[in-house]
Amino acid sequence: MSDEEASYDIASREAVELGNRLADAEPEGDVWEIADGLLAGAVQYWLYARQPCGDPDCEDCASLCTAELRMEALHQLVEDFARSSEYFHAPTDFDAGRA
């Protein structure tokens, strides 16, 4: 496992564990609000980490050099992560087939 993969796995696991700790600490709390707060924090950090360096010739920053390009990249990541999640489909989905 590379350092980048290890960092990704650690960050992902820690975010889930934080959500679980917050929900456990506040049994009457709203898990949707906790999830929204975690997502808001993750988006803020992602946008902070993806700021271009300022060099207009930087090849590393070219794909994220405008707010709109960053938003497109973020949308694609969110869709990819959601679709690959074991929780994407739920048996209680309104469009779930029933026999």
Task: Please state the three-class secondary structure of the chain as a single string.
Answer: CCHHHHHHHHHHHHHHHHHHHHHHHCCCCCHHHHHHHHHHHHHHHHHHHCCCCCCCCCCCCHHHCCHHHHHHHHHHHHHHHHHCCCCCCCCCCCCCCCC
Confidence of residue 10 (pLDDT cuts 50, 70, 90): very high
- pLDDT tens for residues 19-55? 999 999 999 999 999 999 999 999 999 999 999 999 9
Residue 1 pLDDT greater than 80, yes or no = no
The answer, as to whether pTM is greater than 0.85, is no
Q: What is the pLDDT of residue 98?
A: 63
Instruction: Supply the pLDDT for residue 97.
Output: 72
